[in-house]
Amino acid sequence: MGHVWLEGDNLRNSTDSRCYGPVPYGLIKGRICLKLWPPTDFGFLRASPNSHRIWND
């Protein structure tokens, strides 16, 4: 617990949890809040659909 699984949006060119494994919360420096692509979905993101899966140490 206390870790998250992070995946980049470019499957073939992302260095992410698929390479490094789960990332400790303490290493996270920011939060995604805006979606740019595709243009039809542009806007601020709502609360995480997975928020019920987040635990704190």
Distances (CA, A) of 23 to 32, 35, 53: 16, 22, 15
Residues of the domain holding 34:
3-53
pLDDT tens sequence across 1-55: 789 898 888 888 999 999 999 999 889 888 788 888 889 988 888 766 555 555 4
